[in-house]
Structure 1
């Protein structure tokens, strides 16, 4: 049986999957926004139909959201959905540790 090589995780799944640093950060931000929307749906006990009305999107879009189809959502779209639900999104930035 062939021996598998392993490597240490960077604690950033997107980066570990060989996405570039910019794409990995974009995926992280979208994932965080999607998690916030999913938590809102759960906390308010919303059905997909009710969530769709609240967010101003179709029920199939909410289905994509709860199924984690991250590739179907932009940061702008996710922020608009949160805003429609009465949630203000705040962005924080910090200097990267390694700058080229």
Structure 2
């Protein structure tokens, strides 16, 4: 067996590391969805119980639990957290993009 593995340090954003367009937005939605799932789990809420508490359809909670997030905007996910009595604080940081190097040449 060949154990030639290369250790690569990730950026902290798996979507970016795998080259997804809009990686920052994808990660932000994933983080908010994970918090929603954690809140439901911590409170022992089913999707139907969460729907009764928040007025948001249980199918929406099912989509979030199954990480089907394409239909959710950031503000929609924040609204859902707010209805679950969770305070959300958003910090935005602006940085200059780093050049992507492909095939040994800067992009």
For structure 1, which runs of at least 5 residues remain unmatched after alignment? 1-5
Q: How many residues align?
A: 93
Rounded to whole Å, the distance in 2 between the matches of 1:7 and 1:52 is 44
| Residues 37 and 82, structure 1, Cα contact 8 Å, conserved in 2 | yes
* Segments ≥4 residues shifted beyond 6 Å: none
Normalised to the residue count of structure 1, the TM-score between the two structures is 0.78
Normalized per residue, the structure richer in helix is 1
| Rg comparison, structure with higher value | 2
- What's the RMSD between the two structures over aligned residues? 2.2
Once the two structures are superposed, the pairs formed by residues 1-100 of structure 1 within 5 Å of their partners are 8=8, 9-20=10-21, 23-96=22-95, 98=97
For structure 2, which runs of at least 5 residues remain unmatched after alignment? 1-5, 100-107
